[in-house]
């Protein structure tokens, strides 16, 4: 999807809730084609020494997203600041890494991921993903395995909470404590209430509020929730550097998703974004 001008960005955001679920669901039924990996230095002449690149769902441009092989490929590249994942809690209380709650978008099962046990989820066959034919035995990954891979290779866990059951945030925080990552992980979410609860539990957590389109309301919501940053769509905000400046003026980290081409990268860097989430750009 190409970057938008200010009008199309506004209209796209305004009507997105009406169409996005339908379009996304249809899109996720199609084969996921691998992307060409590109060195960051070939996409820009800018100094990237202070830019932090985050691997979106692992190195998902060429691996099935949110799987151990995808996380491991990003970690073994050795240059990513962090690796991003998505997580829901299973029926038997295990945090699993998967983006969609509906299993049939990527797996052989049906229904909601939250209604299955860890063993049941791990028994499902993954049927969609980049180069899925090369990963016939790949299975759904636990958050624990993801964290182990990150820590083994010195990558920062960037954990997106997809589960909207705010009462589970105490369980999630206990997971962070158990792994010793309350001070060296970043928690991100579109669900502001989850972030509010986590901030009450531990005001020192590094948390970014995920949004599509930056507004005064959601920037202030991030501040009020105790967030340290905002993680926003590059598509909707590339043409709105003044809004990215508002994020920075609040003292928040400006992070964006998901950048995979030279034009989007240039727009984000020019606007002052310092954290770039990508499927296919390789930091050096």
Backbone CA torsion sign across 236, 13, 25, 30: negative
Residues 279, 33: Cα–Cα separation, whole Å: 12
Q: What is the dihedral of CA 161, 164, 170, 175, to 10 degrees?
A: -30
Residues 22, 10: Cα–Cα separation, whole Å: 20
pTM over 0.75: yes
Q: Which of 157, 159, 166 is nearest to 192 (CA)?
A: 166
Q: Which of 70, 208, 228 is nearest to 139 (CA)?
A: 70
- Mean pLDDT for 161-176 is 99
Q: Which of 65, 79, 83, 73 is nearest to 185 (CA)?
A: 83
Q: Which residue has the higher pLDDT, 49 or 20?
A: 49
The overall average pLDDT reported for the chain is 95
Say whether the peptide bond before residue 258 is cis (omega within 30 degrees of 0): yes
Q: Which of 140, 161, 143 is nearest to 65 (CA)?
A: 140
Would you give the DSSP letter of residue 153? T
What pLDDT score does 181 carry? 99
Question: How far is the CA of 12 from the CAs of 19, 20, 111, 128, 171, in angstroms?
Answer: 10, 10, 29, 27, 36
Are 28 and 104 in contact, with CB atoms under 8 Å apart?
A: no
φ, ψ (nearest 5 deg) of residue 253: -65, 135
pLDDT tens profile 80-100 = 999 999 999 999 999 999 999
Mean pLDDT is lowest, of 22-26, 41-45, 197-201, for: 22-26
> What are the E-state strand segments in 90-205?
95-97, 141-142, 156-161, 186-189
What pLDDT score does 29 carry? 78
Residues 183, 166: Cα–Cα separation, whole Å: 21
Give the pLDDT band of residue 18 (cuts 50, 70, 90).
low
- Mean pLDDT for 178-192 is 99
Give the pLDDT band of residue 9 (cuts 50, 70, 90).
low
Residues 108, 39: Cα–Cα separation, whole Å: 34
pLDDT tens profile 205-258 = 999 999 999 999 999 999 999 999 999 999 999 999 999 999 999 999 999 999
pLDDT tens profile 38-65 = 999 999 999 999 999 999 999 999 999 9
Q: CATH code for 6-282?
A: 3.20.20.190
- For 73, the token pair is 């490929």
Q: List the beta bridge partners of residue 126.
A: 107
């Amino acid at each position: 999807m190409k970057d938008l001008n200010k009008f199309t960005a506004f209209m796209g955001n305004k009507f997105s809730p009406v169409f996005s679920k339908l379009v996304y669901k249809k899109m996720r039924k199609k084969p996921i084609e691998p992307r060409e990996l590109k060195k960051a230095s070939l996409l820009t002449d800018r100094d990237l020494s202070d830019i932090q690149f985050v691997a979106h769902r692992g190195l998902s441009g060429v691996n099935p997203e949110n799987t151990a092989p995808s996380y491991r490929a990003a970690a073994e590249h050795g240059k990513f600041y962090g690796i991003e994942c998505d997580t829901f809690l299973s029926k038997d209380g295990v945090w699993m890494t998967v983006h969609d709650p509906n299993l049939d978008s990527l797996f052989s099962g049906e229904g909601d991921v939250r209604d299955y046990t860890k063993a049941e989820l791990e028994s499902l066959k993954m049927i969609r993903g980049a180069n899925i034919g090369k990963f016939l035995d790949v299975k759904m990954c636990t958050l624990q395995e993801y964290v182990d891979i990150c820590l083994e290779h010195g990558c920062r866990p960037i954990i997106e909470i997809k589960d909207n059951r705010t009462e589970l945030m105490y369980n999630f925080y206990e997971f962070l404590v158990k792994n010793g990552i309350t001070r060296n992980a970043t928690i991100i979410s579109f669900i502001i209430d989850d972030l509010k609860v986590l901030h009450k539990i531990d005001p020192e957590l590094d948390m970014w509020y995920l949004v599509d389109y930056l507004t005064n309301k959601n920037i202030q919501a991030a501040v009020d929730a105790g967030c340290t940053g905002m993680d926003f769509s590059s598509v909707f905000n590339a043409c709105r550097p003044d809004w990215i400046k508002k994020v920075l003026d609040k003292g928040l980290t400006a992070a964006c998703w998901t950048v995979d081409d030279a034009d989007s990268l240039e727009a984000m860097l020019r606007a002052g974004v310092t954290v770039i989430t990508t499927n296919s750009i390789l930091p050096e």
